[in-house]
Structure 1
């Protein structure tokens, strides 16, 4: 299994090379040269497997430069009971509608599902190669803490995580900034997430800097994140069906397009997925694309601060991987579209709009602050289940796309404890905080504030790189 770039400027390389690279050298994103296929016989043979074993089977389709026995040891370490007391349970809400519980890990967010595997595989590959790596990432709320908890104390790895100053919930900030490990560096940037992400891309795109300081990525630009997320789509399908061929739909709260991209790839591989329901908040650039065919990211000044802050994103890093499929995997056309995006701020693929649903299964919708409050309140009153604001966006949009006889699984984004202010607005009471985290916001915090300036970030990384 070899990997290529969406922009065509990279010679095919194996998994372990792209794991450590992040962005491709030409600025594109890595994808397999060909997707493996999932047939009915294979899927049925996987039904009895526990999550670590299923993860090893699915990831093994994409990784042939790590021995199968070693890969199984890595997934068993990533998904052990001490880390995930419960793994991706189905939580029924209303007839035909369930949550896929992805927030059972150490940071109470779905990002743990992929990031715990990344923590294991990074350390494994670096030790095998005798190398070190400096992870440079950006977070709108959950990626940062998931990465830091997965990589804290790991040998040969330092993490430099940019976050938008004042744009995350107090709980999210405390999860990151309270870590005191020497290899964890939090940088609060005076800007929005998209600007943090721009800094990461600028430094990763400087090939001399990237090579000298051995830069890697944990954002979903890293293919390993996407591959590990494909696993829980397969797991969810196996839990929601009784036999081969049965269709399932998935609703996905989406900001950076990585989570739903994993569903798109699973569907392309043959997993029987009916609809991929993309849910956004008020920052509805992706919803606008699927409604109009025009991709028009907004500037930082027009990226709203909302009550589902992890989706306060206007430029989705993973969208290029879907565009690559949409234009027939034509790397030259992808390059032209990305150039057009830089020059004009948009591109128009409305001529391909008939494929969005008919060929790829995508439908979309947007949710507002009032919608998510009403949805949180409604679900709590009906079922006793309390959901977080991002998951509420997913439920809100999913309800408009239910089909008789087709289970709809909403991918749970986080536990409500991370967004207490919004929960109080919705139901008038504080969400429960899991054991061991009640004092989280009172713990000492370690963070560096910085202007929205790539040079300042580069200088800081130079001083603290491993």
Structure 2
């Protein structure tokens, strides 16, 4: 399998795009073709372990790693020890409501990002060792990506992590998870701005090809194709766990900010998984809802990104949306580049009334928007009715998903984090503090190691140059 950029460049193998992050032309990596799965294959996969299912789903996209090595990497990733459950991603019905909760937050950092990030830690180490190379990961986080990446890269001798987060915009637990890490290969930078500013800084560094090459800059954000691919696996797992008749549909509701998690669902659907609706559940930062409900995608500047009680979705520009537009355009890189040029100039991309809008409507996406009061009400209702505590992002997904339920069709709501990561909101909703794994007791009081920087690309480059080793000139 070879990869191409959404803007046209040839990118090489899976291992090549794994290490490169953003493509040289500014686009995102996509496979040249999307393999399809037959109903017979799906049935045969039903009894597989999570790691072996991951192999079957991912293998057609990863042809440059030997079969035995890939199986070993996946079996070392998806263990009961790491995810605290033999099922890895348990699927729990919420009574007889037709709603199901897909538990994705039992990993090391208590967020769904662990599902892909733990694999990245394994495969980065494997590929870098094989090539005799090092990698300096530069990432941006609105809360959960950072801790998931850092926990996955602990002790990786060939990897450093420089993680940008919006200063003062994460929960106390999220900040403590990241900033309390003292390992010498982990660097936390709190940017004076919002998540989109952090993401833009990452893209600006990646756009400087010479600097990127000199400092071996890579990515773990959802722009990294390996993350999207690994996340597609749990859509297959959840569907198979339902034991539906062949061809019967299931719907998924996905809390959405940067569009990576729900795009992984679209990848699974494109492969042939019988997904009916993919529900994009946004908070007050409803750029994606505006698009799927009205046909216009218009990014919001940092000063218009609201601070909400589901902060990991406080995003005004969904980076993975470019991948979706690329597929909607029939893999037309010229058209995709044109659209994204409009986005880059803060102009709206209006598809309503065009043939491309017909493709959007046929793709199965629906959307909705939540508010703080709606989140509190949903957390309270789920707790009172089913005895389950959920975090505010998961509440967004359940709230919006309920509005799109179809008779007789399961609605699977993706859990994004354990409620312990957002204690204040959960306390406000139900009047009690959620429990947390013992390994995180008192983490807010642990010593913290981070640096506050302005929203300035040169300051970031200066930090990288002062703290990381440059590649020797050829």
Indicate yes or no: 2:422 matched with 1:404: no
User: Aligned runs of 1:351-366 on 2, under 5 Å?
Assistant: 351=354, 352-357=356-361, 359-366=362-369
Query: What TM-score do the two structures reach when normalised by structure 2?
Result: 0.97
Report 1:234-313 matches (<5 A).
234-313=236-315
* Post-superposition offset of 1:55: 1.0
1:136 equivalent in structure 2? 138
Aligned residue for 1:71, secondary structure, equals helix
Alignment of 1:66-145 (within 5 A): 66-86=65-85, 87-94=88-95, 95-145=97-147
State the distance in 1 between where 2:347 and 2:204 align.
17
Given that 1:254 and 1:280 are in contact with CA atoms closer than 8 Å, whether structure 2 keeps it comes out as yes
Secondary structure of 1:167's aligned partner: coil
Structure 2 gaps of 5+ residues are 470-474
> 2:2 maps to what in 1?
2
Which residue of 1 is the match for residue 472 of structure 2? Answer: none
Tell me which stretches of 4 or more aligned residues in structure 1 moved more than 4 Å: none
**Residue of structure 1 in register with 2:452 after alignment:** 449
Instruction: Using the TM superposition, give the Cα deviation of residue 356 of structure 1 relative to its aligned residue in structure 2, in angstroms.
Output: 2.5
Question: 1:375 matched to which residue of 2?
Answer: 378
Tell me by how many angstroms 1:353 deviates. Answer: 2.9
Which has the larger displacement, 431-440 or 174-183? 431-440
Match of 2:178 in 1: 176
1:12, CA displacement in angstroms?
4.4
Q: 2:439 aligns with which of 408, 433, 436?
A: 436
Contact between 1:44 and 1:243, CA under 8 Å: does it hold in 2?
A: no
Q: 2:148 aligns with which of 146, 149, 158?
A: 146
> 2:387: which partner in 1?
384
Q: Which of residues 136, 157, 160 is equivalent to 1:158? A: 160
d(CA) in 1 for partners of 2:82, 2:460: 32
* 1:30 Cα deviation from its structure 2 partner: 0.4
Report the Cα offset of residue 241 of structure 1. Answer: 2.6
8 Å contact kept, 2:11–2:17:
no
Distance 1:297 1:111 in 2: 24
CA distance in 1, matches of 2:345, 2:13: 33
Residue in structure 2 matched with residue 40 of structure 1 by the alignment: 39
C-alpha separation between the residues in 2 aligned to 1:222 and 1:436?
A: 29
Q: Please give the alpha-carbon distance, in whole angstroms, between the structure 1 residues aligned to 2:48 and 2:344.
A: 46
Cα deviation, residue 343, structure 1: 2.6
Distance 1:305 1:238 in 2: 37
Indicate if the aligned counterparts of 1:3 and 1:30 stay in contact, CA closer than 8 A: yes
- Which string of whole-angstrom CA distances, capped at 9 and with x for unpartnered residues, describes residues 349-381 of structure 1? 112333333x21000000000000000000100
Please point out which of 194, 201, 204 is paired with 1:202. Answer: 204
The number of residue pairs the alignment matches comes to 464
* Residue 126 of structure 1: how far off its partner (Å): 0.1
Corresponding residue for residue 50 of structure 2: 51
Q: TM-score, normalization: structure 1?
A: 0.98
1:83 counterpart SS class: helix
CA RMSD of aligned residues (A): 0.9
Tell me the distance in 2 between the aligned counterparts of 1:354 and 1:128.
46
